[in-house]
């Protein structure tokens, strides 16, 4: 059964002129990066509305930064896994390859994956909490672990900084949304390692399918997307992706 599914998907990938992958936290799970939901997920111990919203940050920037500082340290100790490596190889070899990632950990970038659209920003980038200032860059990279100070500040003007990530209730960058929408026009749309509950990302699979893409989910568990894809493969991304043959 699994072998048949892998053969079918491999054939689809080989024939495709455009392939889009939507990745989520499950892709980094084998690297040791905690997922959000599920038995060991971050939300088991931290309520999202206490930490991943602009209101939470306004209320207690130190608390929110402590959580991000802890996550940055944890991610810095992680290495990309076989799923990241396979997608990086596909990005060089498959025509019209695009990767939409919800992950902020930077592990796809660490293995030089091409054509990556970061839907929710990066945990390694910071920006001014009160909006851009003409004297300073709009966003800057900061890979210090632990952070030089909590809450983090702009190295140039000293103003309060925030992680350049997208919190609940915040809009995604319009350019990013345009790129994501364009990527839903493809032959194969693969949704990997995401619970498919957070919008707008969760809506892309349906859009791709309505536009004629062959939609596939790779996840060890059933998700919100499972019933609405053409092929649902139960398995871990680090096992399934390397088992697919694109040549």
Q: Which is nearer to ligand BJW, 48 or 96 (CB)?
A: 48
User: Looking up tokens 């997208």, which residue turns up?
Assistant: 166
- Integer Cα distance of 215 and 197 in angstroms: 17
Q: Which is nearer to ligand BJW, 97 or 124 (CB)?
A: 124
In the bound state, the residue with its beta carbon closest to ligand BJW is 26
- Integer Cα distance of 62 and 75 in angstroms: 20
Judged by CB under 6 A, does residue 2 bind ligand BJW? no
Question: What letter would DSSP give residue 66?
Answer: H
H helix intervals, 16-145: 48-51, 54-59, 61-76, 82-93, 107-110
Which region among 30-38, 144-152, 181-189, 206-214 touches ligand BJW (by CB under 6 A)? 30-38
Name the minimum Å distance from CB 154 to ligand BJW: 20
Exposure b/e, 136-165, CB count within 10 A at least 16 = b? beeebebeeeebeebbbbbeeeeeebbbbb
Question: Using the rule CB under 6 A, which residue among 5, 16, 22, 30 binds ligand BJW?
Answer: 30
CA-to-CA dists, residue 163 to 71, 166, 207, 208, angstroms:
12, 9, 30, 30
In the structure encoding, which two tokens stand for residue 178, read together? 């345009």
Which region among 8-16, 57-65, 72-80, 218-226 touches ligand BJW (by CB under 6 A)? 218-226
Is 120 one of the catalytic residues? yes
Question: Using the rule CB under 6 A, which residue among 20, 24, 190, 208 binds ligand BJW?
Answer: 24
CA-to-CA dists, residue 152 to 29, 132, 139, 159, angstroms:
27, 15, 13, 9
What is the tally of helices (H) and strands (E) in the chain? Answer: 9, 9
Binding string, residues 175-204; x marks residues near ligand BJW by CB under 6 A: ------------------xxx-xxxx----
Question: Using the rule CB under 6 A, which residue among 9, 16, 37, 75 binds ligand BJW?
Answer: 37
Catalytic residue of the set 84, 108, 120, 128: 120
Query: What residues make contact with ligand BJW under the rule CB under 6 A?
Result: 24-26, 29-30, 35-38, 41, 52, 102, 104, 120, 165-171, 193-195, 197-200, 219-221, 223, 236-238
Q: Write out the catalytic residue numbers.
A: 120
């Amino acid at each position: 059964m699994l072998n048949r599914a892998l053969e079918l998907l491999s054939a689809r990938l080989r024939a495709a002129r455009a392939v889009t992958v939507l990745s989520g936290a499950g892709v980094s799970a084998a690297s040791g990066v905690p997922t959000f939901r599920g038995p060991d997920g971050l939300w088991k111990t931290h309520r999202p509305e206490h930490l991943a919203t602009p209101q939470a940050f306004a209320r207690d920037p130190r608390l929110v930064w402590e959580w991000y500082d802890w996550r940055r340290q944890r991610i810095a100790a992680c290495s990309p896994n076989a799923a990241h490596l396979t997608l990086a190889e596909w990005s060089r070899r498959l025509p019209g390859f695009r990767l939409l990632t919800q992950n902020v950990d930077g592990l796809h970038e660490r293995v030089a994956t091409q054509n990556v659209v970061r839907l929710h920003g990066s945990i390694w980038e910071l920006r001014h909490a009160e909006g851009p200032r003409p004297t300073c860059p709009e966003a800057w990279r900061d890979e210090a672990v632990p952070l030089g100070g909590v809450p983090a500040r702009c190295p140039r003007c000293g103003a309060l900084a925030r992680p350049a990530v997208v919190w609940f209730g915040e809009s995604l960058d319009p350019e990013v949304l345009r790129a994501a929408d364009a990527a839903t026009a493809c032959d194969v749309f693969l949704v990997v390692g995401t619970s498919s509950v957070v919008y707008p990302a969760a809506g892309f699979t349906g859009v791709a399918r309505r536009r004629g893409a062959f939609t596939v989910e790779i996840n060890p568990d059933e998700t919100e997307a499972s019933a609405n894809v053409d092929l649902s493969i139960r398995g871990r991304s680090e096992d399934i992706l390397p088992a697919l043959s694109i040549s």
